[in-house]
Structure formats: C-alpha cells, structure tokens
Structure 1
Amino acid sequence: MIFSKKSEKVLPSITLEITSRAKQMKKDGADTIILGAGEPDFNTPENIRNIAIKAINDGLTKYTPASGIDELKLAVAKKFKRDNDLIYSNSQIMISTGAKQCLWNVFETILNPGDEVIIPKPYWVSYPELIRLVDGVPVFAFGDEENDFKYTRPILENVISPKTKAILINTPNNPTGAVYGEDELAMIADFARTYDLMIISDEIYEKFNYENEKYTSIANISSDSYNRTIIIQGVSKTYSMTGWRIGYAVGNEKIISLMASIQSHTTSNPNSIAQYAAVEALNGDQTSVKIMVNEFKNRRDYIVERINDTNILSCKKPKGAFYIMINISKMLGKVIDGHTINNSIDFSNILLEKVKVAVIPGDGFGVSNYVRISYATSMDNIKEGVKRIINFVKDYE
C-alpha cells in the first residue's frame, strides 16, 4: 500500500516522545522526575470549572457556529481592548480547538506550494511541521544566545527571498523564554512592511512575562502592522486549561473568514462546553493568573541560580514563558558508560536512564547543544530534578 508522501515526511514530536517514555517509567514504579511538560501544574480555576458544569446542566452541549460562539468572540475582543489596547470586531475573531489548530488554519489559508515562512530558531517543534503539511517551506533564522536567540535585521535580511510569504514571531518564546521589546517589534514590523509579508504572532504565553508589566503585541506598533498581523492566542497556558482545547485567532477579516471556512470542513466548532468556560476565563476574576505567574517566576529564579552555579552547564534567565534552555556544550564529546554524548538526544537519553530525569532535547527545536526544561511543575520536583542533573554532570566540571 502506498501512503501519503507528505505524511511520511512529518517528524514525530521529540517533546512528546521522551515525555511519554518518562511517564511509562513512572507508571512502572521508577522514581522519575519529568521536567518536560508544557502545561501548568495548577488546576483550572474553580470559577471556570463551575461555569463548565453549569453549561452542561443548562444543555449547552450542541453544535455551535463553526468559528465559535458570539459570547466568546466578544470576550476575546474585550480581552484585547483591556490588555492590549487593540480593537477587533467579531468578524475578525475565530475560535479553534486550541492555538495549534489556529496556526494550521492560518498556514492553510495564506500559503501556496513553495511559499516560505521565516521562523525563529530555536523553534517550537510544531512550527516547521505545520508549514510543511500545507506544502509551505519553513526557513530558519537562527538567533544568537547572547541576544536571547531573537531576530535581528541582518539575520532576517539573510533569509528573505522572493518566495517569502510570512514571518512568524513567538513572544514570550517557547523554548527560549525570550520576550521582544517594542523597538525589536518595530524592526520586525518594518521588515514585514518592506517585503510585504504577513506577520503571524504567537502570543500564547503573553501573561508569563516576568520583567515588564505591559505586554506589547506587534499589532500595536502601527496601523500597517495591525493590518498584516494574525495573532494566535488561547486559554491553555494562562488559565491552566490545556485539556479544554480552546484557542483563538484575530486579525484581517478576509483571512479570518477563510480560516473559518476551512475549519467548517475539518473539525467544525470547538467543544461547546469549553467555549462557555473560556468566556468565564477571559471575563472572570484574574487573581489565579497572578498567583500562578508569581510562583513560576520564583521557580525560574531558583533554576537559573542553581544551573549557573555549575561550571559545565549554563543558561540565560528567560524573561517569559515557563521554559529554560540549558547549554550543554561542555558535555558534548563526554563518554558515559561507554556511550558518547554527541548531541542533546544522547544527553537526554543518558540523563533519563542514569538519574531518572526527563528533559527535552534541543534537537527537537533545531539546536543540538541545548536541552529544555519546564518549570511548570512543582517546586519539589524542580529541586529534586535540578539536584539530580547537577549531580549527574559534576564529575565533568
């Protein structure tokens, strides 16, 4: 039997692969610490859970419009006005089954075969695969660690081509935690204007912004950037609603309309109950968000201090999200129990085998001399996990 050549080229997620193996080890009784998962360890706030229960009891369990209920679109519009000083009408908003579906919808809408999309490197594992799935071409712009891996104008000028259709930014960034400042966003906006590019701005980690009270979206920079930007957002991270699968996209009315048409023929509407819960998430009390963000900041500070106390590992202090990229360059070439550490996959596999700590290999993000750890887990797990990592490498300092 001949299968789709496109599907056979899609790479499996290293993130899910190593986390799945670690979970199985834990299930089998091994004392395993998992520092890979990209979801908050907090429960979904009670007010949101209560509204979901009410929606079930009220019979709000039927089909909704494919692009989402008006109540949630209105809540999204209020969120952008309140938090970002951006104005969007319902016709500029669509709701999807998670931010990942929003991304696929927008790539499917704007790309023709061979069109290129500039993405940052290190990148979130699904960006290149989503682009390839719609016959687009991911083009990687590798930033320097000293600049928090962020785009610069020379880096972008080096990868632009006549086939470039869009540029993607993710701020705060997964996996690096980088946050773009207003001047940097203005540079990207000018670059997009110069080359007439769409801007896809993944802002799913917006609230996990530890250094600046005010978050600036690239859509805030100018009327031009507003018109050419599609913002991708959702409730998964901010409200610890990863399993509820509600994301949303806002931007150009024509593009949103085409995205909605595509969705109507694929998944149709997102889960109705989760949509009503998301209305409460966006409109309701935000105290739980502040508590979670403060706790994550404390966890971040602990990890950065401990890792940088070693002589063989190092990391930058991320300004956002809930991940840290640990530089393992000094471990490459080391031989442990007859196994040479050639890359981050080798390091992660040996770490999991020897000390039962799961981290995510940087190879999944396009860089081989880093591993990513998540601090969206308890402080007890973090302290034990970091201690094991440090003990694992201390013989090589």
Structure 2
Amino acid sequence: MEHLINKKVKNIEISGIRKFFNMVADTKDMISLTIGQPDFPTPAHVKEAGKRAIDENFTSYTHNAGVLELRKAAAAFVGKKYQLTYNPENEIIITTGASEAIDITFRTILDVGTEVILPGPVYPGYEPIIKLCGATPVYADTRENQFRMTASVIEKYITEKTRCIVLPYPSNPTGASLTKEELTEIAKLLSNKNIFILADEIYSELVYDQEHFSIGTILREKTIVINGLSKSHSMTGWRIGIIFAPEYVCNHILKVHQYNVSCATSISQMAALQALTVGIDDALVMKSEYVQRREYVYNRLVKLNFEVVKPDGAFYFFVKIPSHIQLSSFDFALALVKEVGLAVVPGSAFSELGEGYFRLSFAYSMETLEEGLNRMERYLNNNR
C-alpha cells in the first residue's frame, strides 16, 4: 500500500539535524553540541502559572486565535521590545510552536508553481513545507556575504514566480542577524513588488551586539512576523508560537490554523501569558550567559585555526571544515563521534549550501563546551 502515499510526502525527509542526533544518541560517553535547545529550565514562575491553569481546570478549548488576554500581552511585548504594532483582536494568532506558524503561513500564501527565496544555508524546517505546498524553494547563496541575506543577495534570485522571501534572523544555523540599515534596503527592494516576507524572529531576544530590529515596522503590509517562547524563555516543550500579520492575511491563516489544531494548548497559553508579562525580561539572564559562552567558543575555534564568522545572535557557530580534512560534512561529523565522542551537526543538514561546514550549538554549560572543544582539538591533532 505504500505506493498510495502522497508523493510529495514520500519525497521529503526527516530533518538532517534530528536524523544525525538520533543516529549517534546512544554513543557511550558522548559530548553532544547538536540540539538548539536552551539548557536553562523554564523560569519557575512560568511553570507555576502552568500548574495553576491545571488546578483551576483551565483545560478546555480556547478561542482559535488564542486567549485574548495572551494576544494582548503578545502585542504589548513586541510593541515594547521592537516597536511593532498589531491589533490583538485580528492580527495575532497563538500557534502550537513556531513550526506550526511556519506551516500554516506557507499553506495560506503559497500556490503550486510559486517560489520561495531562502538564505542558504538555512534551518531545514522550511523546505519540506514549501514542497508540500507544491511551491519551489530557491536558495540564495549567502556564503560569500558572511551568511547575511541582504538586498543585493536577494535581488539576484527574484523572478516573476517569487511569492515569498524568508528572513530568519538571527539565523539558524549561522547566528547571522540583519541590521536596521540592511532591512531598510530589503524593504526598498520589495516595496513595489507583490512578494510576502516571512520574518522568522524566534531568536529576537538573543541578539548580542545590537538591538533587534523587525522589518515588520517598515514593510508591515507585506510582512508576516513569526516569534515564540521556545528560545527566549526556554519553553521548547510548551509549544507556543505567535504569528503577527496584517488583518487581511491573518484572517486566512486563522482558517488553516483552526482546521489544523483548533487552538494552542490552553495550559501552555497561561504559562505564556506569565512569560510575556511578569517574565518580560526573563531572557536577559540567559542572554548574558550565552554572550560568555559565545566568546569562549569563538576564541577556542580561532585558536584551532577554524574559519568561522562570529554569530550576531542565537546560539550557534557555523564552522568551515578545514580543507586538509577530505571528508563530507556528514562523514566528518561521524568521524568526530567515532574517534573522540563529540557530536556536531553536519552542514549538509542545512541545504546543499551547508556542505563543507558543521554547526556547533553553544546552548550548553561551559563545562560541556570546554570538554567538547577539547575533544575537537584532540581530533584535529590526530588528523593533521
């Protein structure tokens, strides 16, 4: 019966990140620097809010778009942090994680035969959804531009079929972000074009050397902003994402969301309300720690003679594999596991443009990072 399975589904693959992680997860005494998950616990007051929701029997369906009080809190949060203005009544949707937000946005705006421009290398969660919509992912090569998806890069890939441009910043896997000036140039480029922008800003609270700036403040009518609490408040398992979009498109996204999940989990919504109000600055403590880790890892990588761009945000380094190591990124990552018990993510997991690199997450304790880089050094010494 397998021949009856939807061909589009058969032609997509499990995320290369998860595939590699699952493959090596049972390796004894392994140091893993693979998964992009904060190693901090969810703040205690946020957990308590979730417990209260259970105790108070707040366990039923909510409004499809989410509890209005939470949508108001989300509007206030991005208004204060990023000067974004959205009406909580009809321009905000609470989703089951940012992943669902990406899914239902693409399913709303894409038609068969349309194209979506993505920075390459990029997080692997976009391409499969684009293909399931019958659209075509078009990778814009950012490798010679320090992984920055700027207007000059984008312009070369725009065609009459372009329906959407994905701007994930800070980026997974590179940590590259975009400045206000760079985003203004993108806005100028697209101002007279019928092209949506999907601004994936899930790491917006983890920008280190500048203030995060959202393109939604200058190209509002074409921009769909996606955010959430997984990275900012260490709430990956609570599955709360948020869509901010103009009413004309939000109304249609809501229909897809309704038939997909009905609503985000009621209990998680109450935890999210606490996070966005009482915990509005919870990310600052984590951010401070990430800055220290970033400096440590960067200095170690430079001393090991790796070619690497210092990330502006998120918690990843995207590192070029030394030219004398004649291995694919997958085989290099596998060799690290077998020879020194260190797991990183092969760059090929982030599109073909990631080949020749590996991703290292610094969302781990300093002790883990130190031991991981000691093992990397040992591998390099053994393979000169």
Asked if TM exceeds 0.5, the reply is: yes
Contact 1:22 1:34 (C-alpha < 8 Å) held by counterparts: no
CA change 1:331–1:48 in 2 (3 A) is farther
Counterpart code for 1:143: T
Counterpart code for 1:22: V
Q: Which residue of 2 aligns with 1:133?
A: 132
Contact 2:206 2:283 (C-alpha < 8 Å) held by counterparts: no
Find the aligned partners of 1:160 and 1:301 in 2 and give their Cα distance: 37
Find the aligned partners of 1:24 and 1:268 in 2 and give their Cα distance: 37
**Are residue 70 (structure 1) and residue 68 (structure 2) matched?**
yes
Counterpart code for 1:120: P
Counterpart code for 2:49: I
Give the secondary-structure state (helix, strand or coil) at the position aligned to 1:206: coil
Find the aligned partners of 1:154 and 1:266 in 2 and give their Cα distance: 37
Q: Which residue of 2 aligns with 1:393?
A: 380
Displacement of 1:155? 2.4
In the TM superposition, what whole-angstrom CA distance separates every residue of 1:42-73 from its partner, at most 9, and x where no partner exists? 00001100111111111100111222111110
Displacement of 1:331? 4.1
Displacement of 1:287? 4.9
Counterpart code for 1:19: F
Find the aligned partners of 1:203 and 1:69 in 2 and give their Cα distance: 22
Gaps of 5+ in 1: 334-340
In the TM superposition, what whole-angstrom CA distance separates every residue of 1:93-143 from its partner, at most 9, and x where no partner exists? 001100010011110000100110111001111111121111111111011
In the TM superposition, what whole-angstrom CA distance separates every residue of 1:176-202 from its partner, at most 9, and x where no partner exists? 101101111011112222322111100
Q: Which residue of 2 aligns with 1:218?
A: 215
Counterpart code for 1:41: D
Contact 2:77 2:280 (C-alpha < 8 Å) held by counterparts: no
Contact 1:44 1:239 (C-alpha < 8 Å) held by counterparts: yes
**Are residue 321 (structure 1) and residue 314 (structure 2) matched?**
yes
Find the aligned partners of 1:295 and 1:188 in 2 and give their Cα distance: 32
Find the aligned partners of 1:285 and 1:5 in 2 and give their Cα distance: 45
**Are residue 271 (structure 1) and residue 265 (structure 2) matched?**
yes
Aligned residues: 379
Displacement of 1:22? 3.0
Superposition RMSD on alpha carbons, in Å? Answer: 1.3
Give the secondary-structure state (helix, strand or coil) at the position aligned to 1:43: coil
Find the aligned partners of 1:325 and 1:274 in 2 and give their Cα distance: 32
Counterpart code for 1:350: A
Gaps of 5+ in 2: none
Instruction: Summarize the alignment of residues 1-397 of structure 1 with structure 2, pairs less than 5 Å apart.
Output: 1=1, 2=3, 3-25=5-27, 30-90=28-88, 91-145=90-144, 147-212=145-210, 214-220=211-217, 222=218, 225-311=219-305, 313-333=306-326, 341=327, 343-366=328-351, 367-397=354-384
In the TM superposition, what whole-angstrom CA distance separates every residue of 1:342-394 from its partner, at most 9, and x where no partner exists? x1001001111111111001001121110001011111110000110111012
Displacement of 1:265? 1.0
Displacement of 1:14? 1.1
Contact 1:39 1:376 (C-alpha < 8 Å) held by counterparts: yes
Contact 1:167 1:192 (C-alpha < 8 Å) held by counterparts: no
Find the aligned partners of 2:197 and 2:118 in 1 and give their Cα distance: 11
Counterpart code for 1:219: G
Give the secondary-structure state (helix, strand or coil) at the position aligned to 1:89: coil
Find the aligned partners of 1:161 and 1:71 in 2 and give their Cα distance: 42
Displacement of 1:326? 1.0
CA change 1:286–1:264 in 2 (3 A) is closer
Give the secondary-structure state (helix, strand or coil) at the position aligned to 1:330: coil
Find the aligned partners of 2:192 and 2:339 in 1 and give their Cα distance: 52
Counterpart code for 1:284: V
CA change 1:306–1:62 in 2 (3 A) is same
Contact 1:116 1:164 (C-alpha < 8 Å) held by counterparts: yes
Provide the TM-score with structure 2 as the length reference. 0.96
CA change 1:275–1:394 in 2 (3 A) is same
Contact 2:98 2:228 (C-alpha < 8 Å) held by counterparts: yes
Find the aligned partners of 2:349 and 2:273 in 1 and give their Cα distance: 34
Provide the TM-score with structure 1 as the length reference. 0.93
Counterpart code for 1:328: I
Find the aligned partners of 1:150 and 1:318 in 2 and give their Cα distance: 11
Displacement of 1:84? 1.2
Find the aligned partners of 1:314 and 1:395 in 2 and give their Cα distance: 19
Give the secondary-structure state (helix, strand or coil) at the position aligned to 1:61: coil
Contact 2:120 2:143 (C-alpha < 8 Å) held by counterparts: no
Find the aligned partners of 2:39 and 2:285 in 1 and give their Cα distance: 13
Displacement of 1:324? 0.3
